[in-house]
Amino acid sequence: MTNERLIKESFAKQAENFENSSMNFSNEEYLAYTVRKMGLCHKDIVLEVASGTCVNGRAIAPYVDKVICLDLTPEMLEVGRQKAEEQKLGNMIFVLGNAYEIPFLNNYFDVVFSRFAFHHFTDTKKAFDEMKRVLKPGGKLVIIDMIAVDELLRKQRDYYETLRDMSHVRNLSRQEITALYQDAGLNIILQETTDIEVSLNSWLELTKTPEDNRKKILDAMNLELNGGCQTGFYPYKKSGDIKFLQKWMITIGEKRMISKIFLLVSPGEGGFVIC
């Protein structure tokens, strides 16, 4: 089964409860923080790639001219469309599409961003290059995602992430995300991390993780709490629940302006100088 198929199946199940307050993906404080950091303009045309229910796009919509939400999963887009109608956001468009083949012209958007999606991509460079392609020179490319923070335990943590949600591929590290920008020639103007507390039960409920996989994850977390093998999550008990931290990172890069070359012909010399 391809990862795109896994993504569609996973997020079709998550769509109804994706913005449940028991999870942090719609954390209003963090949404407000990301909107502030983007430095938006009322004339901006914005694209959210792998938007899900477009919760971040809806937070942005009041401050810009237009927001396009692109996602593979019809159920997620439908939830976003309904919520946009409830919020009377008339400047949003919901488009079914693939991050690897963004159906828009080159150099079109003022801001292109993706939120909690890159850990689902099997080809992060291809998705990043597509985002860069449709971004105007001088525009901002924004990635918001949870990141890997412990090199020694990355494989263990990704194993349990995938056990919970088969569409998970791997969490990128700060260095790997930075390299995407550097290799594409984008200038990073902001990179900040925030620790977010997550409830293990809510985390498992969101993806409707099958009971056998849920038991494996719970057993592993409890074993670590009792001094056993590490999972990479560093779980802890709080208010009778198992908790862990995710490190969320926002990276904002700027696409370089196209340099203009002027050819000036020198009269009488038959040559030219470039400036």
pLDDT in tens, 2-56: 766 655 555 555 545 555 554 555 578 889 999 999 999 999 999 999 999 999 9
- Domain count of the fold of the chain: 1
**Residue 206 is assigned to a structural domain of this protein:** no
**Residue 141 is assigned to a structural domain of this protein:** yes
Cα within 13 Å of Cα(1), Cβ side: 10
Domain that holds residue 176: 3-148+169-195+248-256
**Residue 237 is assigned to a structural domain of this protein:** no
Residues 6+ apart with CB under 8 A from 169: 3, 119, 120, 121, 122, 158, 162
Residues 6+ apart with CB under 8 A from 268: none
Residues 6+ apart with CB under 8 A from 244: 197, 198, 200, 221, 233, 234, 235, 236
Helix, strand, or coil here: 75?
helix
Q: What is the CATH number of the domain that holds 37?
A: 3.40.50.150
The amino acid occupying position 224 is E
**Residue 185 is assigned to a structural domain of this protein:** yes
Contact status, residue 102 vs residue 134, Cβ threshold 8 Å: yes
d(CA 169, CA 140): 26
**Residue 70 is assigned to a structural domain of this protein:** yes
**Residue 230 is assigned to a structural domain of this protein:** no
**Residue 223 is assigned to a structural domain of this protein:** no
The amino acid occupying position 114 is S
What is the pLDDT, as a whole number, of residue 13?
56
Of all helices (H) and strands (E), which one includes residue 188?
A: strand 187-199
Task: Please identify every stretch of the chain with a pLDDT value under 50, giving residue numbers as ranges.
Answer: 15, 22, 261-275
**Residue 187 is assigned to a structural domain of this protein:** yes
Q: Any bridge partners for residue 197, and if so which?
A: 245
